[in-house]
Amino acid sequence: MTTKTPQIDKQKLVNIRALAAKCCYSVIDQGRSLSDELPKQQDKAALKDKGLLQEICYGVLRYLPELEHEVRALMQKPLTGKQRVFHFLLLVGVYQIKYMRIPDHAAVSETVAATGALKNRQMKALVNAVLRNFVRATETNTKTKQENLPDSIAYNHPGWFIKKVQQGYPLKWQEILTANQQKPPMWLRVNQQHHTSAEYQQLLTTAEIGVKVIEPLSGAIELTRPTDVTKLPGFEQGWVSVQDAAAQQAARLLDCQSGDLVLDCCAAPGGKTCHILEQKPDIASMTAIDVEASRLVRVEENLARLGLNAKVIAADAADSKAWWDGQQFDRILLDAPCSGTGVIRRHPDIKWLRKANDIDALVILQQQILKETWSLLKPGGTLLYATCSILPQENSEQIKHFLNNNSDAKLINIDDCDKPEKDLLGWQLLPGDENMDGFYYAKLLKTIL
Ligand SMILES: C[S@@+](CC[C@H](N)C(=O)[O-])C[C@H]1O[C@@H](n2cnc3c(N)ncnc32)[C@H](O)[C@@H]1O
């Protein structure tokens, strides 16, 4: 009699800890971005495990120095070369034991089993021994003393970045670094062409989706917990989008008027382009450009879902000769390429991928785009400069330099700016302020000389 081989769902055989180790290895050792790498590994996992994989990868990248410190204390020599992926597997193991509600024995056995999935059974004994020792040391409270740790380990950020935050915010640097370690909230942008924020809140309540707060300046809605977009009422019909409340301040501050010619010169993936069009559908035209043609696909998708129109052009904002038709704009949004240091809680890989030298290069690029786009603005028009950075070099100092070099530029006061950082030019939101991302805005008027 022949027995039928049972159908095996290959996905069920995938070890999530092995995928997490590979993902972290790609980010840290190969310099790839988490938002590119995680989906690739998630594609190999069963639907029910994708969230677990995400939580582990984000967690390891949030607590990288601390986890490495723990592992170092339990090893005679570090893993190098081809064994590096097992270094990350150990971090995956320690993260679960320290920060997740997975029973220690399950965290250890699943992580040890990952050595098989990573095709190196020789590592099995080592991973097993290190993780068991870690559990034992935690239980018996005999772990390495955590006092007098360097700031980079105590705060889980690179040293160069800590120094910059200390210089910029001598009284608040610890608060900022602590906010960067939090899990970010999910904020919604309500398409006011369909519903007010209060009306949409009702729809959420009916759908049993909890609302924490409605941010008063922008009408952004903060959910009590992140929710799959497909569960949001009317998402496909364009009633709502996902966007942090800090980013939702841009459309309001740009304050477009009927008939305006508007330029969004660093537009992809189009969050702010679409918000401006939702708020002011009767502007004369919206031109959305971005240097990365591949990223403009997302702009087109967002415009299509929301039923909006814009001229979408792949172009370099620092060189208008190639695309500009000579008509000056009434409003320009310059959401500049930046260090992303205001959104570390959403992208913990920024801490490790961004290097100290990058900042000077970014400041020069921002300067070039600012100079070029200023020439595209009508006298009497407004340019809103924005970044998702908290570094004064890219923000307040950048604007100070611009004002010193452009006598036709006047900084317009932003009323909401009654924040402690009064001495900085513009409006600097810090990560965690009202549970928003770190963001910067400066509103510049081109005077009629
Ligand atoms: C902060 S993101 C913009 C986010 C977008 N405004 C939104 O709200 O969805 C910065 C963008 O600037 C683009 N960029 C970088 N250098 C550029 C340049 N020289 N010209 C135009 N776009 C550029 C990047 O490709 C990136 O999409």
Mean pLDDT, rounded, for 262-277: 98
pLDDT grade for 142, boundaries at 50, 70 and 90: low
**Confidence check: pLDDT of 4 > 90:** no
Chain-centroid distance, C-alpha 74 = 33
What 137-143 contacts at long range (C-beta under 8 Å, 24+ apart), as own/partner pairs, is 137/74, 138/97, 138/98, 143/70, 143/73
The span from the CA of 445 to the CA of 447, in Å, is 6
The pLDDT value recorded for residue 233 is: 98
Residue 428 and residue 410: Cα distance in Å, rounded?
A: 18
CB of 147 closer than 8 Å to CB of 400: no
Instruction: Give the closest residue (by CA) to ligand 1 atom 17.
Output: 291
Per-residue confidence at 447, pLDDT binned at 50, 70, 90? very high
- Mean pLDDT for the stretch of residues 281-309: 98
Q: Which residues pair with 386 in a beta bridge?
A: 335, 441
Tens digits of residue pLDDT in 215-241:
999 999 999 999 999 999 999 999 999
Q: Is 388 a catalytic residue?
A: yes
What mean pLDDT do residues 303-326 have? 97
Ligand 1 contact via 271 beta carbon (within 6 Å): yes
Residue 250 CA, closest ligand 1 atom number = 8
| 269 in contact with ligand 1, CB cutoff 6 A | yes
Residue 326: Cβ-neighbour burial (10 angstroms; 0-12, 13-18, 19+): exposed
Choosing from 187, 189, 254, 266 the residue with most ligand 1 atoms within 8 A of its CB, the one to mutate for a pocket test is 266
Distance CA 393, CA 387 (A): 11
CA 125 to chain centre: 37
Ligand 1 centre distance from Cα of residue 180 (Å): 23
Q: Which of 21, 135, 34, 19 has its CA nearest to residue 86?
A: 21
CB atoms within 10 A of CB 73: 14
Question: Which DSSP symbol is given to 448?
Answer: -
What is the chain's mean pLDDT, rounded?
94
Reply yes or no on whether the pLDDT at 48 is more than 60: yes
Query: What φ, ψ does residue 328 adopt, rounded to 5°?
Result: -75, 155
Ligand 1 in contact with 89 (CB < 6 A)?
A: no
Name the residue among 237, 239, 242, 213 with its Cα closest to residue 226.
242
Ligand 1 centre and the CA of 266: distance in Å?
4
Cis peptide before 185 (omega within 30 of 0): no
* Tokens matching residue 96: 């679960």
Digit-coded pLDDT (tens) for 101-113: 999 999 999 999 9
pLDDT at 416: 64
- Measured CA to CA, the distance from residue 160 to residue 106 in angstroms comes to 37
How do residues 164-216 score in pLDDT, each as one tens digit? 999 999 999 999 999 999 999 999 999 999 999 999 999 999 999 999 999 99
**272 C-beta closer than 6 A to ligand 1:** yes
